[in-house]
Amino acid sequence: VEAFAEGIKLAGEVFWQNPSKTVLIPNWHRVIAALPDFFELLKDAVKKDNEQYA
């Protein structure tokens, strides 16, 4: 969950730095542009959560 939130936060920061330059692309592409290893971080976070709470 924290990795997801961080990805969204970074994508928002990139947008607010120059909103007129932002191209209309799917949301996940924005997240990956801001945080290229987002999905790996998300998988690690889910794995840790599962280990802790399963």
Residue 22 CA to residue 5 CA, distance in Å, equals 20
Say what the pTM is: 0.50
Q: How far are the Cα atoms of 5, 17, 18, 21 from residue 2, in angstroms, in the given order?
A: 5, 23, 25, 28
Q: Which residue has the higher pLDDT, 12 or 25?
A: 12
The domain locations on the chain are: 2-53
Residues 29-44: tens digit of each pLDDT? 888 988 999 999 999 9
| Beta carbons of 2 and 41 less than 8 angstroms apart | no
